[in-house]
Amino acid sequence: MSGSILYIHGFNSSPLSTKARQLEAVMQQLGLAEQLRVPALHHHPRQAIAQLQAAIAELGAPLLVGSSLGGYYATHLAEQHGLKALLINPAVAPHRLFDGYLGTQRNLYTDEAWELTLDHVQALAELEVPAPTDAERYQVWLQTADETLDYRQAERYYRACALRIEAGGDHSFQGFSQRLPALLAFAGIARGQYAALDFSVF
């Protein structure tokens, strides 16, 4: 489906995150709600990837929009299926970051408690792919004041892709709604459909 989008939320996040809700509101406003999927991902990578594979099958060839850990998932899936991906402060090799995090986790939105195990970490490691080299298919949006991930890791890993690096900001990516026209254009949605929208209200 041309112009379809699959939004992939991050670690301990959910479809209730600000970016997901802003994107949903815009697609709703454009009458394109049925072209967007924002699945509530299982905390285990293998189950999350199965959910995402099902959404890709449903949408055809969606633009993958991945935030944080979702950016890591999006990269794996974009390489597997030859899809376009827009990554927002993406995690690079997250399995290497989780050493100190094993044990009980809590979802920031649903308050669900779950156990992060070595099996999760191993499953994440299995998803690693060589650094992408297609600047046509990848846009990577980074903010330098990301308090969770060092943006320079993503800058290095995605150096052959189209990078947008903004000074300041934070891990949630400040000003996301103002950047939505660029996201919609990358998804293949005609500019005429959203040219009159005021993105500051989302």
Q: For residue 201, tell me if it sits in a domain.
A: no
Whether 195 shows a pLDDT value over 90: the answer reads yes
- CATH (domain of 47): 3.40.50.1820
Q: For residue 65, tell me if it sits in a domain.
A: yes
Average pLDDT of the chain? 96
CA-nearest of 60, 191, 77, 56 to 137 is: 77
Give the burial class of 155: count Cβ atoms within 10 A of its Cβ; 0-12 exposed, 13-18 middle, 19 or more buried: middle
Least reliable range by pLDDT among 25-34, 92-101, 166-175, 193-202: 92-101
Angle of helix 45-59 relative to helix 69-81, nearest 10 degrees?
Answer: 50
pTM score: 0.97
What pLDDT is attached to residue 99? 73
| Distance separating alpha carbons of residues 167 and 116, to the nearest angstrom | 32
Q: For residue 116, tell me if it sits in a domain.
A: yes
Q: Which amino acid is at 158?
A: Y
Q: For residue 70, tell me if it sits in a domain.
A: yes
Q: For residue 202, tell me if it sits in a domain.
A: no
What pLDDT is attached to residue 98? 84
pLDDT tens for 24-58 read 999 999 999 999 999 999 999 999 999 999 999 99
**How sure is the predictor about 2, in pLDDT bands with cuts at 50, 70 and 90?**
confident
* Rounded mean pLDDT, 119-138: 96
| Distance separating alpha carbons of residues 178 and 199, to the nearest angstrom | 6
Half-sphere exposure of 85 (CA within 13 A, CB side): 30
Q: Which structure tokens are listed for 142?
A: 């980074």
Q: For residue 107, tell me if it sits in a domain.
A: yes
Residue 142 structural domain = 5-193
Number of folded domains in the chain?
Answer: 1
Q: Which structure tokens are listed for 76?
A: 């794996």
CA-nearest of 71, 93, 79 to 153 is: 93
Q: For residue 198, tell me if it sits in a domain.
A: no
pLDDT tens for 169-185 read 999 999 999 999 999 99
Q: For residue 58, tell me if it sits in a domain.
A: yes
What pLDDT is attached to residue 1? 59
What pLDDT is attached to residue 101? 84
